[in-house]
Amino acid sequence: MDSSFYFGFCAAAITFFTLFGTIFFMFYGKQKSHQENKTIASSPSSSSTLSISSTPSSLSRNRKHDVFPSFHGADVRKTFLAHILKEFKGKGIVPFIDNDIERSKSIGPELVEAIRGSKIAIVLLSRHYASSSWCLNELVEIMKCREELGQTVMTIFYDVDPTDVKKQTGDFGKVFKKTCKGKTKEDIKRWQNVLESVATIAGEHSRNWDNEAAMTEKIAIDVSDMLNRYSPSRDFDGFIGMGAHMKEMESLLCLDSDEVRMIGIWGPSGIGKTTIARVLYSQFSESFELSIFMENIKELMYTRPVCSDEYSAKIQLQQQFLSQIINHKDMELPHLGVAQDRLNDKRVLIVLDSIDQSIQLDAIAKETRWFGHGSRIIITTQDQRLLKAHGINHIYKVEFPSAYEAYQMFCMYAFDQNFPKDGFEELAWQVTKLLGNLPLGLRVMGSHFGGMSRHEWVNALPRLNIRLDASIQSILKFSYDALCDEDKDLFLHIACLFHDEEMVKVEDYLASSFFDVRQRLHLLAEKSLIAIEIFSTNFTRIKMHNLLVQLGRDIVRHKPGHQCIREPGKRQFLVDDRDICEVLTDNTGSRNVIGILLQYISGELNISERAFEGMSNLKFLRFHGPYDDESDKLYFPQGLNNLPRKLRLIEWSRFPMKCLPSNFCTKYLVELRMWNSKLENLWQRNQPLGNLKRMDLRESKHLKELPDLSTATNLEELILFGCSSLPELPSSIGSLQKLQMLSLRGCSKLEALPTNINLESLDYLDLTDCLLIKSFPEISTNIKYLMLMKTAVKEVPSTIKSWSHLRCLEMSYNDNLKEFPHAFDIITKLYFNDVEIQEIPLWVKKISRLHTLVLEGCKKLVTLPQLSDSLSQIHV
């Protein structure tokens, strides 16, 4: 065998193994944290939410109707029932209607089929419900389906007391006794049993509602929410080979066992480990008390808040884990024993994705005894040794797909079905063989060929053959080469600088460089070169698979027409740490450089005072910097003469100087993010800040002064979290009409807010740990989230009564604030952690929309009064 061919073959094989199996990578959904809602009140006399009497997993069978209503027509058909059916229709809920069924003393097969064919049964108990043996027999069948099939049963007590239903007393009992005359003892006993059972299902009580329209609307919303939860997930339909993966994984999970089990999913990058874990989580999370899917944990190690040692890193990881799994935002941990204390009696499902260091497992799931009986912890990793070292012996190795599975995968993306269209059979096989069963290649190329005519396929195949001679990676480059020049440039920007970044920020950064950035990003998504993950209406993130990231960076490194390989200072983007250090030390940067991303450096870096002098077109400067003061450092031995005038983004963690260069230009600046800096002030003179949208100076403990911000007319976020030396805010903040977020948490020397604040756009205000702030100024605002933890605030301004948008109020660890306006009744979440109160304040009892109340650590609180009917979660 020819030696050059042999070594070329080996190199290709290694690349193949590394790239293989990423057909699923674009499907990753947002992180989910699940917690069961607890019914607040279940006694007959108290109001509560509608009770769910079965689990969603039991409702996977096909159903003909969404809802089966059981009712006595004379009581409710023309009134309450008519209203609720109208609400159902408006929300697309399909009820069973029995108008065409002839009623008799017993229910026939048609009605039994209707009951069993409905997802939810609603029993509408009214005064004369028990006057009909038809209704009673209907109820027997409903409760039978609840017991045998796990059907959900909801109750509505319409002008009747649940106790009368349970014990057959009062007017309800009188009606029931008349119905029982002449009936057999067996019938009577059966009816008594089902009435007693159905009365114990907590439900809505019409006597607790002043407004019947509001009651019917709430019931319809509850039903709609249940139907959403019960709908079987189709997110992973069509994933070739997933059935075999699930069969193997279910045997490893052994869900019937009461032991706590850790399971590893092991395989190379992109082979589908995360997707397998996603499917498992989708199928089984609802059957656990608490569940969480933590993705890309290895990335958290590089984006976590600054930590001085390994212990602090573990605290940060455990804090993020707990805050998500128990739905407690911004929680603080005093030590690493909290996870065990909070979860050792809970049956939990935990998925830890992309683990690559033992510290991550030690922080989140060090031992099985941390979790309650029956818990399952699933870990995905490329490192089998890490699993073995943690004592994990239940390991699933993800194998490569077969040739036929690869063919089906390609067809799914090219034709939206797992077989080709007529006339494309041989062409599809040729492309699949050329791709060598590489799942990422199958996806990218399938998306590329999708929609093309047969003639276009035939013309493209020879070029694909030629490209494959170079290396496996050229498969990925094929779709890149098909882009226009501007879209190629955008792809390189994402790969080198903005992978895993918020979409709205990328649009802001690139608005002056590209026409219609959003449309071009969606085009890249359609070509499967990026994924656009929608977490909420206000949060969308751009994701690019790490292999495509590497492709983009290799293109920049080997760009033709420039001596980019040997002279990194002539490249468009600098992303390699060693290259960046060379350019900044030797002052070899050129006007070609438009972006720098420095992730991490080893040891000290002495930067030339003229380091940025030649980079006149630099727009994006991202120095993530070292994580602590004692290890790696950036030095400017002779200072820093200038920063390029065209900068739009500066992200520089631990900036080592007291002030930015005197000639620093802010004209084009969109975002300034300088965490843990040594800055004492930013700049001395007034600067044009019309493009600035975000300023984040968190943990800049030496900052003593903010500049005049009167020209920052588009500023949306101002984050000063942990700026503990800042004594005051500039009065110009009061004129920032687009400011949405103002975080002053930990500004311990700040004594007051500017008196002229009138921020109608402000959405989020955090004054946590502002120990010297004792009062608010009069603020007209639309704040939704107000944080007053550990403050000296004793009262709030009278204008707070007009804050009609406030939804979340955090008052934990705050004993100073004693009163709050009664008109403040639109809050939905209220936190009172560790507050020295003996009873719930009167104004809390009057909050009509409150659904979450947290009272953890309130040791002096003795009793809970009857609170809002809307309250669905309470943590004590």
For residue 239, the model assigns a pLDDT of 77
Lowest mean pLDDT among 177-191, 446-460, 559-573: 559-573
For residue 769, the model assigns a pLDDT of 86
pLDDT of residue 436 exceeding 60, the answer is yes
E-strand spans in 778-876?
Answer: 785-787, 808-810, 829-831, 852-854, 873-875
Do the domains 485-557 and 56-230 match in fold?
no
pLDDT of residue 363 exceeding 70, the answer is yes
Confirm whether pTM is higher than 0.75. no
For residue 536, the model assigns a pLDDT of 74
Pairwise CA distance, residues 220 & 36, whole Å: 20
Enumerate residues 6+ apart whose C-beta is below 8 A from 541: 500, 501, 502, 503, 532, 533, 535
For residue 866, the model assigns a pLDDT of 67
Q: Do residues 844 and 866 make contact, with C-beta atoms less than 8 angstroms apart?
A: no
| Fold (topology level) of 56-230 | Rossmann fold (3.40.50)
The mean pLDDT value for 373-383 works out to: 91
pLDDT of residue 41 exceeding 50, the answer is no
Active site residue 141: no
Tell me what percent of the residues of the chain surpass a pLDDT of 90.
29
Domain boundaries, the chain: 56-230, 242-397, 485-557
Which strands, in side-by-side order, build the sheet including 501-502?
501-502, 539-543, 531-536
Residue 496 is given by DSSP the state: I
Per-residue pLDDT band for 19 (boundaries 50, 70, 90) equals very low
For residue 511, the model assigns a pLDDT of 93
DSSP assignment of 540-592 equals: EEEE--HHHHHHHHHHHHT-TTS-TTT-GGGSSEE--HHHHHHHHHHT---TT
For residue 487, the model assigns a pLDDT of 94
Is 322 or 558 the better-scoring residue by pLDDT?
A: 322
Lowest mean pLDDT among 323-337, 346-360, 664-678: 323-337
Pairing type for strands 604-606 and 620-623 reads unpaired
pLDDT of residue 707 exceeding 50, the answer is yes
Average pLDDT, whole number, for the chain?
79
Per-residue pLDDT band for 631 (boundaries 50, 70, 90) equals very low
Q: Do residues 816 and 791 make contact, with C-beta atoms less than 8 angstroms apart?
A: yes
The count of residues in the chain is 876
Task: Please state the φ and ψ torsions of residue 66, each to the nearest 5 degrees.
Answer: -75, -45
Among residues 707, 705, 706, the alpha carbon closest in space to that of 688 is found at 707
Positive or negative, the CA dihedral 506, 593, 695, 769 is positive
Most confidently modeled range among 227-241, 258-272, 580-594? 580-594
The architecture of the domain spanning 242-397 is: 3-Layer(aba) Sandwich (3.40)
Enumerate residues 6+ apart whose C-beta is below 8 A from 691: 648, 667, 668, 669, 670, 714
Q: Which residue has the tokens 């070509």?
A: 527
Among residues 87, 110, 138, 141, which one is catalytic?
A: 138
Pairing type for strands 620-623 and 595-598 reads parallel
For residue range 519-557, list pLDDT tens digits in order.
Answer: 999 888 877 788 888 877 778 999 887 668 878 888 898
Start-to-end C-alpha separation, the chain: 74
Among residues 858, 857, 851, the alpha carbon closest in space to that of 841 is found at 858
| Fold (topology level) of 485-557 | Arc Repressor Mutant, subunit A (1.10.10)
